């Protein structure tokens, strides 16, 4: 009689997409729960999705556009900076919320089994809703400034894909680290603030010296933000920077999944 040896799968083989699909209803429930919790008992509800990037746009336009005279590739600075704030706001909110998501759902983790990957992934669903609302406002701004819509808008779904996997990859790493080291809950806002200034949100990639652009592109949001701006405003794509940032995004996602799965078996004990 043959012996049957059961071993845990390692690496990406441990990522059971069939199991994740089987728990899709839980993913939807957690995402919708996060939406309701965020806007429960708020006076203006989903309008907060617009206020955050809009207020940042006003502040940046005054201090960096009007006072510091940072170039904006010949575009009105409000329309230029808002195009960068759209992907940046999504990215920063996902890694911030995903980083704390596992700790905040500790009671759920210790009581029932489900793929733990669903918890940080559900955060992206909330932010995608906010992104769509803010995107509609941006289109209205483009019409106000008489900026034509071009066929390059068709690139946005692909750019959104790379943005999501980059944010999830970093969010998965941070969520696993935060379970073990709660200090990351306090370090994360500081890191996000610094990350903003090394991403081309308030300045164009064109002002970065050519020799430094490959290094800038190692920041996954550098190429993605620049490409978002190009897709929205119809300007040429910087393909070398975008390709490097896209590759880094994929690497971050794979690394985030592997690291998260390596530690998730210990979550219930540590948390």
Distance CA 235, CA 143 (A): 17
Angle formed by the axes of helices 239-263 and 156-180, to 10°? Answer: 30
Question: What pTM did the predictor assign?
Answer: 0.86
- Residue 80's alpha-carbon distances to 12, 74, 198, 263, in angstroms, are 39, 9, 17, 41
Measured over the CA atoms of residue 85, residue 185, residue 97 and residue 266, the dihedral's sign is: positive
DSSP string, 163-183: HHHHHHHHHHHHHHHHHH-TT
DSSP string, 71-106: --TTS-HHHHHHHHHHHHHHHHHHHHHHHHHHHHTH
Distance CA 159, CA 61 (A): 25
Distance CA 13, CA 6 (A): 14
Residue ranges per domain, the chain?
24-270
Distance CA 133, CA 50 (A): 7
Compute mean pLDDT per 10 residues along the chain, 271 residues long, and list them. Answer: 51 62 82 77 67 85 87 89 92 90 79 82 85 89 89 93 94 88 83 91 89 89 94 91 94 92 74 64
207 secondary structure, DSSP code: G
Question: Do 48 and 72 touch, CB atoms closer than 8 A?
Answer: no
Instruction: List strand residue ranges (DSSP E) for 100-208, in order.
Output: none
- Give the pLDDT of residue 6: 42
DSSP string, 2-20: ---------GGGG--HHHH
- Residue 32's alpha-carbon distances to 126, 138, 181, in angstroms, are 7, 24, 28
């Amino acid at each position: 009689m043959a012996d049957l040896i059961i071993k845990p799968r390692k690496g990406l083989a441990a990522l059971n997409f069939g199991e994740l699909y089987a728990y899709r209803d839980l993913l939807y429930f957690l995402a919708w729960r996060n939406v309701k919790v965020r806007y429960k008992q708020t006076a203006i509800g989903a309008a907060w999705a617009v206020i955050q990037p809009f207020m940042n746009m006003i502040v940046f336009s005054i201090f960096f556009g009007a006072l510091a005279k940072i170039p904006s590739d010949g575009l009105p600075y409000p329309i230029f900076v808002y195009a960068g704030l759209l992907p940046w706001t999504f990215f920063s909110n996902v890694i911030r919320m995903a980083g704390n998501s596992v700790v905040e759902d500790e009671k759920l983790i210790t009581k029932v089994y489900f793929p733990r990957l669903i918890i940080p992934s559900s955060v992206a669903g909330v932010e995608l809703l906010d992104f769509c609302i803010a995107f509609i406002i941006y289109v209205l701004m483009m019409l106000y400034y008489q900026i034509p819509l071009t066929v390059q808008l068709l690139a946005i779904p692909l750019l959104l894909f790379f943005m999501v996997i980059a944010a999830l990859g970093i969010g998965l790493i941070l969520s696993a680290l935060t379970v073990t080291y709660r200090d990351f809950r306090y370090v994360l806002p500081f890191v996000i603030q610094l990350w903003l200034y090394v991403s081309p949100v308030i300045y164009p990639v064109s002002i970065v010296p050519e020799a430094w652009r490959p290094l800038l592109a190692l920041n996954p949001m550098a190429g993605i933000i620049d490409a978002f701006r190009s897709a929205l405003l119809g300007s040429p794509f910087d393909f070398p920077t975008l390709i490097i940032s896209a590759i880094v995004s994929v690497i971050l996602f794979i690394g985030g999944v592997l690291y998260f799965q390596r530690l998730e078996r210990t979550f219930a004990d540590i948390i």
